[in-house]
Chains A and B, each alone.
Chain A
Amino acid sequence: MKNINVNFNLNGEDISIDCEPAKTLLDLIRDDLGLKGIKRGCEIGECGACTVIMNGEAVASCMVLAPQTEGANIITVEGLTSDDSLHPIQTAFIKKGAVQCGFCTPGMILSAKVLLDNNPAPTRKEIRIAIAGNVCRCTGYKQIVDAIEYAAELMK
């Protein structure tokens, strides 16, 4: 099968890579580009563990073919800050005990970022709706909602 050249921006860096079309964006980011923040979960778009921000919107990277990202702007959890410091959402997750096993955390944080970018002072209901596509099997949802509420405070 013919490889496809794909050009996109990942966490502020321009990427140009030849990839097999049968790869999803999830495969490309984890396996070829080595960023392991996003997780391979259900691979049918139900769990949200592979969430990335694509052109400002939360999308499931397991449901995007890698060559479909041509020209797109992608942000993963690794790209939340440009240095080693934590993003306020990350600080809030730690402070509020919102991380248990951690598998859902990167996706949760990215969904939270999209919410807070568009709505800096969300209600708890708006927060719950924003993370409805991210499953946490430790069922620590209350702490996660607390953390996002706290992150909104920190980001004021």
Chain B
Amino acid sequence: MLPEFNFKRPETLREALKDYSSENYKLIAGGTDMIVEMRKEKDIDYDILDISGLGELKGIKKEKSKIYIGALTTFSDVFTSAVITKEAPLLKEAVRNAGSLQIRNRGTIGGNICNASPAADSVPALVALDAEVNLVSSDGERTLKLDEFITWPYDTDIKEDEILKSISFKPAEYTGYHFYKLGRREALAVSRMNVAVLLNIKNGIIESAVISPGSVMPTPGRVNEAERLAEGNKPSGELFEKAGVKVSEIMIEQSGIRWSTEYKKPVIEQMVKRALIFAAGIKT
């Protein structure tokens, strides 16, 4: 048994927004983070609003050159989506090994974002794709950049009466991509660190590079300094090694020297290098 609470299951988004703005509710969708959190507590001082049945917040569509992923779309639905497979295979790779099949069948992309765990698998890939979050409340809608929306580990800029409606992005222009997840084992592992990369290589030269690590900086975001270093150059193991070193430098600049730095520094350097090598499709 979990700690006691009252439960409501609104039928429509409109009804959910009204309930959410007037009572002391927390939202539950797939529950794969929420139930674990609730189980840690003896008592909870909120009630539960179950939005998992709201069809309006489910599904993936392409509209006016943008891809929209409903916040309640599960990891499994993202993974099997024809639109994502074609337009954003980087995101498909990122969710491939998130949790277990049982978790991917329930866990939602919106929940993964709003929980704002630094180890979230979908976030680095979505940040690499320059994704935006579309929020809705009784007062209207607003859109924020995903990397600005997540403000701190487990914290976002969401207002008390707002619900995440969807995540959207324009398909990126790239010639290669890679998502590198480092966990303690392959199945059911929380990412120790991960990194999403995109490379656009034209005539043997890197025109643009995107390097978006997870669980490395205090908040998600691209490492522009490392990207600039790679751009305008011919892809090579040495170049990607330098890009990796730049990422670890920025990591230490932003996160400081921590107990884990001795491990994380050389490992993120290699992860970035390997991800870029994969994305460039070169042999070293």
Contacts and interface: CB of A to CB of B under 8 A. Distances in A.
Interface of A: 1-2, 4, 20-24, 27, 43-46, 48, 51, 54, 57-60, 62-65, 67-68, 70, 111, 129-130, 132-133
Contact of B100 (A20, A48, A62, A64): A48
B154 interface: no
B48 interface: yes
A45 B99 contact: yes
A57 to B, nearest CB: 4
A130 B76 CA distance: 13
Contacts of B9: 67-68, 70
Contact of B188 (A21, A63, A111, A133): A133
A65 B48 contact: yes
A98 B94 CA distance: 33
Given A63-B31, A63-B35, A65-B35, A22 B102 contact: no
Contact of A60 (B5, B50, B106): B106
B106 A63 contact: yes
B105 interface: yes
A58 B5 contact: no
Most B-side CB within 10 Å, residue of A48, A67, A68: A68
Interface class of chain B by DSSP? loop
Which 9 pairs from chain A and chain B are nearest by CB?
A133-B100, A21-B7, A132-B187, A57-B105, A60-B102, A22-B2, A133-B102, A1-B4, A133-B101
B224 to A, nearest CB: 36
- Give the bracket for the number of chain B residues in contact with chain A: 20 to 34
Contacts of B105: 54, 57-59
B50 A68 contact: yes
Contacts of B99: 45, 133
A67 B103 CA distance: 18
A116 to B, nearest CB: 14
A68 B39 CA distance: 17
A20 B187 CA distance: 33
Nearest to A31: B1
Interface string B89-103: 000000000011111
B31 A68 contact: yes
B6 A1 contact: yes
B242 to A, nearest CB: 36
Most B-side CB within 10 Å, residue of A4, A45, A58, A111: A45
B28 interface: yes
B52 interface: yes
A138 to B, nearest CB: 17
